[in-house]
A and B are shown apart, each in its own frame.
Chain A
Amino acid sequence: MDDKGKMDRKEAAEKALREGRSHFEFRPETRRFLLANAVNIAIGIALVIIAWWAVAEAMIAVRGAFFPTPPETFSALWEALGGAKINGATIYFHTRSSLVRWGLGYALALVIGTIAGMAFGTMGRAYDIGMVPVYIVQMIPGMAWVPIAMLIFGLGESATVFIILMTALPPIVINTAGGIRQAPPIYSRVALMSGKDHFSLFAKVLIPAAALPIINGMRIGLANGWRVLIAAEMVLGTMVGLGATIEDSRYSLDFVSAFVCIIVICLIGLTIEKLLFSGLEGVVRNRLGLEEEG
């Protein structure tokens, strides 16, 4: 939208009052909102760091034990980003190994979950039967899959991918199926009276109508997978990876490296959540007309 030539808020309101008009437009204060948002986020991050620092100093003072403080950790992070090796490899290598495992497991969950969710969402009987195992699987905590994964795949890569798949899958199925079932019946009626076949009904009506819950399921699945990945790496004897490095600090006592990995994990998680999913959700909400176009 072209905002040039528009007045600011106060001026425009006064002009509208003077001229006796009921609707008026003014230049949106986008920059002010962006700035306020950035400040709020910065304050939030600062609070976390302050709390962490306070705990660290308290532990050092009370127990006389070592506890990585924010400055120590950030300088180690800086070195790690510069290429210093931790746990026998660079932070990039650890991150990439974790991301590949997670990507594989999550991709599998997306494909299986979306197809199953769509099938369950459209067929009443399949839903009633199929959702039972889905809820059972959902109730199994991520780490409880470790022995099952070990029995099927042994230690290592495949076991980790399997655990990610099993924890990411249920929310994707549940939300996809639920979203399709909750699409207003009138949407289907319109499609059917227009002579649409079941494929069009599905692709052009039910999927868009269920877009928000579907994205929500993908999002929860993603977070589930990411959390369990780190945990799974810690027990399944994978040698590299962010989780493996955290686990290794128990023996190497390199707690600073563990903290560096924790920060990297948080950053990646936040990036995916905020950039990818919030953006995607914004686009969909806009398309669904749930928000005013900006």
Chain B
Amino acid sequence: MIASLENVSKVFTNPRTGKGLVALNDVSMDVGEGDFLCLIGPSGCGKSTTLNLLAGFELPTSGRVMFKGKEIVGPSPERGVVFQEFSLYPWMTVMQNVAFSVSKGRTKEEREALAMKQLELVGLSDFAHARPNELSGGMKQRVAIARALAMDADLLLMDEPFGSLDEQTRRKMDNEVLRLWEGQGKTVVFVTHSIEEALMLGTRILLMSASPGRIDREWKVDTPWPRDPTSPGMVALKKEISRGLQVCSCANGAPKAAFVEIQGVDDRPEMEV
């Protein structure tokens, strides 16, 4: 077991408006070493909150979030995050963006060599000196993946990384992530709202539900890759998960806007220097 949530609750409050939101209520889960764990569920069910807790961007209101036997107290290079939105620094080249996140204690040359190696891994070494705005959406997210790999993190946290990409590009990227996961021996926690994406990728699929956020069900998927989404087993599983998604209390979804508004207040602390 590499990471876990132990009876974690997370409450967001907005003292200005007097509104509060329970994003997670008494959630426990564990992430095994080498897992490809997919978190699915509708908007507002606490998927992103779970990921932010694992990253250390948020701290739980109660319960403990553990990583390698220690309680998580803040972000760390041991846990690389690939964000939902584009997160590259536009004033740096692709190479500089990746090298920026290479962990400390290396010379500039070593950082760049390592960054280059990661860029090769995601097939972007030709674009090392390009600027992020010259890249397509899919390429930007590949750089973000290279950056997370350059951190030497054992745990990759991916928050709907391909949500803004077109279907075709998304499938391609899914396969790349799978290839990297298999090749690098990493552990991945992957948030998505697409059942299909979860089915194609995960060794475990956790279905979350909202109001308040909790884990509803879990499926283990041991079908080898490449998976065929039209095979009878997959189709049956997809049906089952879809049913689970509809049954769960959050079928209409928690209002996303309110969630973000409330989160906004608690979202700031890491900005304080």
Min CB distance B166 to A, Å, is 17
- When distances are taken between beta carbons in the complex, the residues of chain B under 8 Å from A30 are none
Is the CB–CB distance between A192 and B272 below 8 Å?
no
Which A residues are CB-close (under 8 A) to B273? Answer: 122-123, 198, 201-202
Which residue of A has the minimal Cβ distance to B79?
Answer: A193
Known contacts A194-B100, A195-B77; A185 and B268 CB within 8 A of each other: yes
Check if B89 sits within 8 Å of A186, measured CB to CB.
no
In the complex, chain B residues whose CB is within 8 Å of the CB of A202: 273
Interface of B, helix, strand, loop or mixed by DSSP = loop
Give the contact-size bracket for chain B: 20 to 34
Task: State whether B271 touches A188 (Cβ < 8 A).
Answer: yes
List CB contacts (< 8 Å) of B127-144 with chain A: 131-134
- A119, chain B: closest CB distance, angstroms: 10
For the complex, what is the distance from the CA of A288 to the CA of B132, rounded to whole Å? 9
Determine, out of B7-15, B61-69, B80-88, B248-256, the stretch whose residues face the partner at the interface. B80-88
> Cβ of B56: which chain A residues have Cβ within 8 Å of it?
193
A289 touches B272 (CB 8 A): no
Complex Cα distance, B85 from A186, in Å, reads 9
Q: For B228, list chain A residues within 8 Å (CB).
A: none
The complex places the Cα of A191 from the Cα of B56 at a distance, in Å, of: 13
Q: Does A9 contact B (CB under 8 A)?
A: no
When the two chains form their complex, are residues B100 and A288 in contact, meaning their CB atoms are under 8 A apart? no
Q: Are the CB atoms of A289 and B74 closer together than 8 Å? A: no
Task: Name B234-273 residues within 8 Å CB distance of A.
Answer: 267-268, 270-273
Q: Determine the chain A residues whose CB is within 8 A of the CB of B91 once the complex forms.
A: 208-209, 211, 287-289
Contact A194 B85 (CB under 8 A): no
Which residues of B are found within 8 Å of A262, using beta-carbon distances? none
Q: Taking the complex as formed, is A263 at the interface, i.e. its CB lies under 8 A from any CB of chain B?
A: no
Whether A194 lies near B151 (C-beta < 8 A) is: yes
A99 at the interface (CB under 8 A from B): no
B89 and A189 contact, CB distance less than 8 A: no
Residues on the B chain within 8 Å of A186, using CB:
83, 85, 87
Q: Which of A26-51 contact B (CB under 8 A)?
A: none
Least CB distance from A25 to B in Å reads 15
A205 on interface, CB distance cutoff 8 Å: yes
Please, which residue of chain A has its CB at the minimum distance from the CB of B57? A189
CA A250 to CA B270, docked complex, whole Å:
59
For window 43-67 of B, CB contacts with A under 8 Å fall at 55-57
Q: Which of A257-294 contact B (CB under 8 A)?
A: 287-290, 293
Is the beta-carbon distance between A195 and B76 smaller than 8 angstroms? yes
CB distance from A154 to the nearest CB of B (A): 41
Q: Is A58 close to B, CB under 8 A?
A: no
B125 contacts the other chain (CB 8 A):
no
Q: Report if A84 contacts B (CB, 8 A).
A: no
Least CB distance, A45 to chain B, in whole angstroms: 36
With the chains together, A205 CA to B97 CA distance in Å? Answer: 11
Q: Which residues of chain A have C-beta atoms less than 8 A from B57's C-beta? A: 189, 192-193
Q: Is B90 an interface residue (CB 8 A)?
A: yes
CB neighbors of A among B103-160 (8 A): 103-104, 131-134, 147, 151
Tell me whether B83 and A189 are in contact (CB under 8 A). yes
A–B Cβ pairs within 8 angstroms, 11 of them: A124-B268, A187-B89, A191-B100, A192-B75, A192-B270, A194-B77, A194-B151, A211-B91, A289-B90, A289-B131, A289-B132
Q: A189-B81, A190-B83, A208-B91 are in contact. List 11 more A-B contacts (CB 8 A).
A: A122-B271, A122-B273, A123-B273, A124-B272, A185-B267, A185-B270, A194-B77, A194-B100, A194-B103, A288-B91, A289-B134
